[in-house]
Amino acid sequence: MVPDNNKLWYKAPAKKWTEALPFGNGRLGGMVFGKMNEELIQLNEDSIWYGGPMERMNADLPTYLPKIRQLLFAGEVEEAQYLAKMAFTSTPKYAGPYQPLGDLFLWLADHEGDVRDYRRELDLDSGLVTVQYHLNGVDYRREIFSSAVDQVVAVRLTCGVPGGLRLGITLGRRPFENEVTMLGQESLVMNGQCGPDGVRYSALMRVVAEGGGVQKVGDFISVEGADSVTVYLAAATTFRHEDPQQVCAEQVAAAANKGYERVRAAHIADHQALYRRQTFELSGTEADVADDMPTDERLKRVKDGAHDPGLVSLYYQFGRYLLMGCSRPGSLPANLQGIWNDQFKPPWESNYTININLQMNYWPAEVCNLAECHEPLFDLVARLRENGRKTARELYNCGGFVAHHNTNLWADTIMNGINTRAAIWPTGGAWLALHLWEHYRFGGSLEFLAGYAYPALKEAAEFFLDYMVPGPDGRLVTGPSVSPENKYRTRRGNIGYLSMGPSMDTQIIETLFGSCLEAASLLHLDESFAKRLQDALSRLPKPQIGKHGQLLEWLEEYEEPEPGHRHISHLFALHPGELITAEKTPELARAAKRTLERRLDNGGGHTGWSRAWIINFWARLGEADKAYENVHALLRYSTNPNLFDEHPPFQIDGNFGGTAGIAEMLLQSHSGEIRLLPALPAAWPSGRMTGLRARGGMEVDLEWRDGRLVRALLGASRTGVCSIRTGIPLAIECAGETVRAEAAERTLLRFDMRQGHQYVITPQ
């Protein structure tokens, strides 16, 4: 087995941002470069977005909506797209981007010479970034972390000789540095505003030296002859606080009074309470070769074609670490880059893109035992519902709430941007609402279902009951809409993207309505509303299979100009949905497989997040080695030296989708059934994973050897029936007693489980 494998480490400082090491407490974090004499720690705070909330509705949309629908039904796609480009594009066209907080600079004097034993490390288990080296006969060490307990970044510098530290420290925000003010000899504050109507921010830093002296020089804090130095930094904005500088001052003072060792210990205890819920070990033919290699070197081996099971388990745990670092209760959700961004005009504004990317960010949350990290997404959905009601009413004359393909700090629900191939998509809010349903399915809290999940599901469903229209054949369809970001060839040979009733919309709506019906039944609510849902469900288009044996992406079959497109939206029903399974819908499962094969044969999976989604698809189809091929490809072609995903450029969704995909290969719990090791590849012949979560209120430990299950342990957090889909006979015990299981089908076992009990499952 692979030993403790929870560290990323390197033998040299980072030369570029995608080599630096991330840290965060959900809200406040940064990137450590590990430079010796000129350390750079790039900083982020999750509410630093440019600009304020805006009224961006295009007042002409309601006028042109009926005409555009008529044109699409008539096959006049080009004319519909011409009008929609003008009538649906918001005014202003774009919302502002997520931006960096700034940079923390540490200039160390007399720091040139002979360097030995350099090591830059991220310890996933403790949440500490460390830099250590031996320079001119002296040992130096730094520790950096962001505390969720004390809400500060702490940077600790020590050296091996008394009085050996001499350095200057300051903050900057090039090229938008507004104001840096000294607050006495030991503290400074950087204040500014993100645009004329944007948030005001403060970043306040205090330097505490042991031994030596501290004084201000310009807008630097100079430390002379210290034994150790600790920097405490807090940041806040007017998004949460009326007086962010005062909040920062209080947080820094509290941390400094508490002292570094206590702040550090509280951080580690808080971090490990989440991180240590899971362990993951893999063995394989090359498992031991790379264990002692720096992370960038072992990644290079994989990029050269080698296989490294230990790197897979490290990548998995790194994904969990990242979710903890950029999404905690009280923070904002993880955006396209989590919270880590060094650009003032980042790609795609580093938005919350809700036609796949934001949802993928949260695929690991439940199964990987980080359910609390899901909460910021639920908070965003609550704000989207508020704004989305207005958008539904004023743009579409519909009830419920709607959100399109992008949103931001202000929970904007209007179309964003001039790329109508992406923007005119009204289904993002519905997909997000399904995340609350998933949280209920894993945890089982009826209080959460009644107070949070069902109201969101119902409002999303109310919108589509009003929004959908009957097509010429009487089926209910959405539109105008898109299959996110993809295109087709029209009858005239031109490029089309707008359509009525794209497959993904129908699949999301069918899943949404089904979830609403189940929730209403559990809560004994809304019989008349449930009847409307059932009537609408009966009129939705059914999945169709095309001439290549593939699932159709649109209501009719078109030539595809880009058959290897990165989005594979019409397989939502396979994953994360569950309308398609190999057991219950075998014909559709075969069509889904053919769809994947055609995408990959034509160059699909070329972006990191798309490759990650493909892992999940193959896992759902039980294609273990194909799933693993894409895990290997994700590492080989779409992973940076610091293990950040590469779209390109960096997007964090691929990390989270990859982590979720690895979990999906080892445990599945959709469609009311548990599957143990459903897509275990030959490359992972033996291994062990503890702490996975399954729908139905279960925590699952797995152990396997030579490609076969050795033992599974199911811990029940609620009473109910457990169904296990299995291809081998299983024995089930609880407290040493045999548990009677009923064979509901040839490959399906069912048994009663009781809250608080553990069940040991072994092959017979």
Average pLDDT over residues 145-165: 98
CB count within 10 Å of CB 298 equals 20
Distance CA 449, CA 441 (A): 9
Q: pLDDT tens, 719-756? A: 999 999 999 999 999 999 999 999 988 899 999 999 99
Question: What is the pLDDT, as a whole number, of residue 289?
Answer: 66
Write down the H helix ranges in 202-307. Answer: 244-258, 260-275, 295-303
Classify the C-alpha dihedral 292-294-299-305 as positive or negative. negative
Distance CA 566, CA 613 (A): 10
Strands 200-210 and 115-123: unpaired
pLDDT higher than 70, residue 189: yes
Q: Phi, psi (5° rounding) for residue 745? A: -140, 180
Beta pairing partners, 639:
645
List all residues 6 or more positions away from 309 whose beta carbon is below 8 Å from its beta carbon: 2, 282, 283, 284, 286, 287, 683, 684, 687
Q: pLDDT tens, 48-76? A: 999 999 999 999 999 999 999 999 999 99
Q: pLDDT-based confidence at 285, cuts 50/70/90?
A: low
Residue type, 686: S
Distances (CA, A) of 265 to 149, 253, 494: 10, 18, 63
Distance CA 691, CA 278 (A): 5
Q: pLDDT-based confidence at 292, cuts 50/70/90?
A: confident
Question: What is the pLDDT, as a whole number, of residue 2?
Answer: 36
> Running DSSP on this structure, what letter comes out for residue 268?
H
Bond before 22 cis per omega within 30 degrees: no
Chain centroid offset of residue 619 CA: 19
List all residues 6 or more positions away from 576 whose beta carbon is below 8 Å from its beta carbon: 359, 363, 434, 616
User: Which DSSP string corresponds to 387-453?
Assistant: HHHHHHHHHH--SS----SEE-TT---S--SS-HHHH--TTHHHHHHHHHHHHHHHH--HHHIIIII
- Residue among 180, 182, 157 nearest 102 (CA): 180
Beta pairing partners, 352:
407
Tokens matching residue 617: 């698809």
* Contact assessment for residue 299 and residue 311, using Cβ atoms and an 8 Å cutoff: yes
Q: pLDDT tens, 498-553? A: 999 999 999 999 999 999 999 999 999 999 999 999 999 999 999 999 999 999 99
Tokens matching residue 504: 């993904």
Largest CA-CA distance found in the chain, in angstroms, rounded: 84
Distance CA 103, CA 88 (A): 39
Distance CA 573, CA 543 (A): 9
Chain centroid offset of residue 363 CA: 7
Tokens matching residue 122: 């991220």
Q: What is the residue extent of each domain of the chain?
A: 7-49+97-276, 60-91+327-604, 686-763
Q: Is it true that domain 60-91+327-604 has CATH number 1.10.1740.10? A: no
Strands 115-123 and 128-135: antiparallel
Question: What is the pLDDT, as a whole number, of residue 288?
Answer: 60
- With residue 280 as reference, give the H or E element that holds it: strand 279-283
User: Which DSSP string corresponds to 378-390?
Assistant: HHHHHHHHHHHHH
pLDDT higher than 50, residue 647: yes
Angle subtended at Cα 201 by Cα 197 and Cα 203, rounded to the nearest 5 degrees:
165
End-to-end Cα spacing for the chain: 25
Distance CA 350, CA 756 (A): 43
- Residue among 519, 353, 325, 529 nearest 436 (CA): 519
Residue with tokens 């519902």: 385
Residue type, 22: P
Please report how many Cα atoms fall inside a 13 Å half-sphere around the Cα of residue 236, on the Cβ side: 19
Q: pLDDT-based confidence at 419, cuts 50/70/90?
A: very high
Distance CA 168, CA 180 (A): 15
Tokens matching residue 326: 């950029």
pLDDT higher than 90, residue 1: no
Question: What is the pLDDT, as a whole number, of residue 3?
Answer: 42
Q: Phi, psi (5° rounding) for residue 392? A: -60, -45
Q: pLDDT tens, 245-275? A: 999 999 999 999 999 999 999 999 999 999 9
Chain centroid offset of residue 327 CA: 9
Q: pLDDT-based confidence at 283, cuts 50/70/90?
A: confident
pLDDT higher than 50, residue 80: yes
Q: pLDDT tens, 588-646? A: 999 999 999 999 999 998 899 999 999 999 999 999 999 999 999 999 999 999 999 99
Tokens matching residue 503: 């497959």
- Residue among 13, 40, 100, 631 nearest 337 (CA): 100
Distance CA 229, CA 397 (A): 61
pLDDT higher than 50, residue 27: yes
Q: Phi, psi (5° rounding) for residue 416? A: -125, 120
Classify the C-alpha dihedral 342-348-351-353 as positive or negative. negative
Tokens matching residue 477: 């369809």
Distance CA 311, CA 298 (A): 8
Angle subtended at Cα 352 by Cα 498 and Cα 426, rounded to the nearest 5 degrees:
30
Counting runs of H as helices and runs of E as strands, what totals does the chain give?
19, 34
- Residue among 526, 521, 605 nearest 566 (CA): 605
pLDDT higher than 50, residue 649: yes
- With residue 725 as reference, give the H or E element that holds it: strand 720-725
Task: State whether residue 140 is helix, strand or coil.
Answer: strand
Residue with tokens 């720096």: 294
CATH of 7-49+97-276, one of 2.70.98.50, 3.40.50.970, 3.40.50.720, 2.40.10.220: 2.70.98.50
Q: Is it true that domain 686-763 has CATH number 2.60.40.1180? A: yes
Question: With a threshold of 0.85, does the pTM exceed it?
Answer: yes
Tokens matching residue 100: 């960096």
Q: Phi, psi (5° rounding) for residue 505? A: -55, -50
Q: pLDDT tens, 555-571? A: 999 999 999 999 999 99
* Contact assessment for residue 595 and residue 570, using Cβ atoms and an 8 Å cutoff: yes
Residue with tokens 């009008």: 83
What is the rounded average pLDDT for all residues in the chain?
96
Distance CA 255, CA 433 (A): 38
Average pLDDT over residues 372-391: 98
